[in-house]
Structure 1
Amino acid sequence: MKFERSDPVDPEKKHRQWFLVLFAILAIGTTGIRLFTGSSWIDSLFYTVITLSTVGYGAPPGLPPGGKIFVILLVLIGIGTAGLAIGEITRYFVVERMLSVMGKRRDNRVKDLRNHWILAGLGRVGMEVARHLENDGIPFLALEVADRKVASAREKGWIVQQGDIRQEAVLEDAGISRARGLILTLSDDSDNVYATLTAKALNPDLRVIARANDPQSTKLLLRAGAERAMNLADAEAAAIARASVNPAVADFLEMVNISRDLGLDFSAATVHPESPVAGKTLAEAPLRFEYNAMVIAIKKERGSIIYNPPGNETLEGGDELILFAEMDKMEELRSLLCRPGGC
């Protein structure tokens, strides 16, 4: 039998409740002593505080028998309750704040994440991936084990959880069932393979993009279920060779990396069958003359890819277009191509 885990109590809400409890005890004690002794509000609060703190300055002067019973009840009920309230409030301001700084406390924004990416590892590669995701406005959650890296990432405002990506509970807490994809940037290929298998078992529809450090690991990751396995050493070597032999091509690819700084954007959008452009040729569709967009390639629903498609190529529902356009036009393009709610 599987039991559902209840959501943890919000620390902010919990500490407010304890503030109210402490205030209520002080208010009841102050009001009671004032009614029984006729003391001023300040003196009544003073006697209440020294009674609850067990300082022992003595009972208020002129305390009648009824007032003594009230003080007895205040001592029996109030001391323990007030002590617990003060302890919980102190715990919030000291322990919870320290955990928050260290990155060990659960981020309450996690429960609101939907269709997000989970990024595993905040090393050199992981930090760069996170920076790009943030710049592109893509929701993501980062998972990291090291305290220092977690604290540094939280200072940037990122949603970060501390934990081992290989553990099912950590992935479930990261919202794996609601996630769009998983990016693995761990330096150990065996960890990336294991994490891929675990993630795919929890969410078979999850898209997994993994880092690989050698060709053999690339094959293993693909067999484990990763959609893409990228060997960074090969990619860097290819980039260096390209810059040496074909500098113009290298400059163009570098422009792709900085395109957002130039107000341009590379993106992909899938043509919905009910889109106004479905059934039209590229020349007939308003992509070029209305949105000044360039279609770099078309990935057909059956899997084939058409690079630099001609004007007489017909757009069909399910076609995925690789677009290059101005950033402020990209959302309009998505609205034109996709069904309501996005691609």
Structure 2
Amino acid sequence: MFIHLRRLRRLLNRVALGLLLLLGVLAAGTVGYHLIEGWAWGEAAYVTLLIISTLGFGRLAPATPAGQLLTSALIISGVGTLFYLLSNVAETFIETSLGLTKVRRMEREIAKLRDHYIICGLGRVGRRAAQELSAQDKCFVTIDADEATVAEARDRGWPAIQGDATHDDILKTAGIERASGLLVTTASDATNVFITLAARIYNEHIVIVARANEDGSEPKLEKAGANKVIAPEAIGGQRMVGLVLRPGATEVIDTLLHADDQDNWLEQTTVSSDSDLRGQSLGAARLEDRTGVRVIAIRRADGTLVTNPQGDELIQERDILVCVGARDQFSELVALAQPNHPTNSLAKA
């Protein structure tokens, strides 16, 4: 578990309490010996310190019953207080050191990431997005300003950065220049616009999907640089209507997109400039025979969508092939569509 600020504050409060108790015991012993035994203030404080540290009395020892009773009380309270203080100091040091070590290790791991995804905001939408990426074994980094939320994400094994995602240094720490996708999911449209603007400045090729919480925010987010804008309420309403009007079709789509069924999966890959598929027709490419994957749609570079493509449909550079098949078959398709890109996210599935 990563140590976080709330836990650190609790430990420091315990250390402060231990110090106050120790000073209280020292003051009580000093005053007590001065009044009971008649020792000088310096001698009384010195003997009290020796007793608390379990080193004995030195040349002075209490001669009266009251002084002996005070000594017994100091041994019990002083040693207990000293043990409480030292144990909390040690716990603070150990947990802080381990926590900082883990944070530094996480930052080094993030610095190595390429073509990963970044999630800004770990509310309900952001957590769900992180769960989906984790389930599909994708590399991603999360950002949130709340320390408890970040600690929970780290406990789940998600790389998490605490901070304001509108700040350039936070986005850079998450590897915005190297990321392939950004999900902006905070509950504030103004924050989402700032994050989108900053991300687009640092990475003009990144795919940005932003959340719109209010009517009228969609065009602002698109102007800021978002490729797609999602309104969770609208998506929820559309899905509810789909389940009422077309339950069978909706369930099939949900199964292909979100289920853990390894034999039925909907994915996509892009045809690169060095692919032998360029210029071939679907029929001549024989993708289903060679990989087991069936192409059900093609998204052209100009945005044109070809659904249910026939055998004479030509495959072009930068085409996005939307396919159905078993998850383990997609790596074979990627090898054909992007032969020189072994780190493509599909190859990890």
Aligned-pair CA distance for 1:299: 1.2
Q: Which deviates further from its counterpart, 295-304 or 241-250?
A: 295-304
Give the 5 Å matches for 1:11-22.
Answer: none
CA offsets, 1:200-251, max 9 Å, x none? 2222332211111133111110011100110111111000011111111112
Give the 5 Å matches for 1:54-69.
Answer: none
* Secondary structure of 2:277's aligned partner: coil
Cα distance 1:188–1:151, how it changes in 2: closer, same or farther (>3 A)?
same
Q: What is the aligned partner in structure 1 of residue 161 from structure 2?
A: 161
Aligned-pair CA distance for 1:100: 7.2
Measure, in 2, the Cα distance between the counterparts of 1:104 and 1:269: 34
Q: What is the aligned partner in structure 2 of residue 195 from structure 1?
A: 195
Q: What is the aligned partner in structure 1 of residue 97 from structure 2?
A: 96
Q: What is the aligned partner in structure 2 of residue 229 from structure 1?
A: 229
CA offsets, 1:155-210, max 9 Å, x none? 11111110110111111111212222211110111110111112222223322111
Q: Which has the larger radius of gyration?
A: 2
Whose RCO is larger (CA < 8 A, sep 6+)? 2
Q: What is the aligned partner in structure 2 of residue 75 from structure 1?
A: none
Aligned-pair CA distance for 1:91: 6.9
Matching residue's letter, 2:311: G
Q: What is the aligned partner in structure 2 of residue 260 from structure 1?
A: 260
More helix by share: 2
* Secondary structure of 1:290's aligned partner: helix
Q: What is the aligned partner in structure 2 of residue 128 from structure 1?
A: 128
CA offsets, 1:118-157, max 9 Å, x none? 1111111111101111122211110011121111111111
Contact 1:104 1:161 in 2 (8 A): no
Matching residue's letter, 1:95: T
Structure 1 residue runs without a partner (length 5+): 1-54, 56-88
Measure, in 2, the Cα distance between the counterparts of 1:255 and 1:90: 48
Give the 5 Å matches for 1:35-46.
Answer: none
Give the 5 Å matches for 1:1-343.
Answer: 93-97=94-98, 107-342=107-342
Matching residue's letter, 2:225: G
Measure, in 2, the Cα distance between the counterparts of 1:116 and 1:230: 20
Q: Which deviates further from its counterpart, 285-294 or 218-227?
A: 285-294
Matching residue's letter, 1:320: I
Measure, in 2, the Cα distance between the counterparts of 1:151 and 1:159: 10
Contact 1:96 1:105 in 2 (8 A): no
Cα distance 1:144–1:105, how it changes in 2: closer, same or farther (>3 A)?
farther
Matching residue's letter, 2:333: L
Q: What is the aligned partner in structure 1 of residue 23 from structure 2?
A: none
Matching residue's letter, 1:137: D
Aligned-pair CA distance for 1:291: 2.2
Aligned-pair CA distance for 1:265: 2.3
Contact 1:265 1:330 in 2 (8 A): no
Measure, in 2, the Cα distance between the counterparts of 1:164 and 1:287: 45
Contact 1:282 1:315 in 2 (8 A): yes
Contact 2:107 2:173 in 1 (8 A): no
Matching residue's letter, 1:162: Q
Cα distance 1:285–1:176, how it changes in 2: closer, same or farther (>3 A)?
same
Structure 2 residue runs without a partner (length 5+): 1-54, 56-89, 345-349
Measure, in 2, the Cα distance between the counterparts of 1:135 and 1:205: 25
CA offsets, 1:247-269, max 9 Å, x none? 11112122123343343322111
Aligned-pair CA distance for 1:339: 2.9
The alignment yields a C-alpha RMSD, in angstroms, of: 2.7
Matching residue's letter, 1:142: T
* Moved segments of 4+, more than 4 Å: 89-92, 98-101, 103-106
Matching residue's letter, 1:341: H
Measure, in 2, the Cα distance between the counterparts of 1:90 and 1:262: 46
Measure, in 2, the Cα distance between the counterparts of 1:254 and 1:207: 23
Q: TM-score, normalised by structure 1?
A: 0.69
Measure, in 2, the Cα distance between the counterparts of 1:157 and 1:234: 31
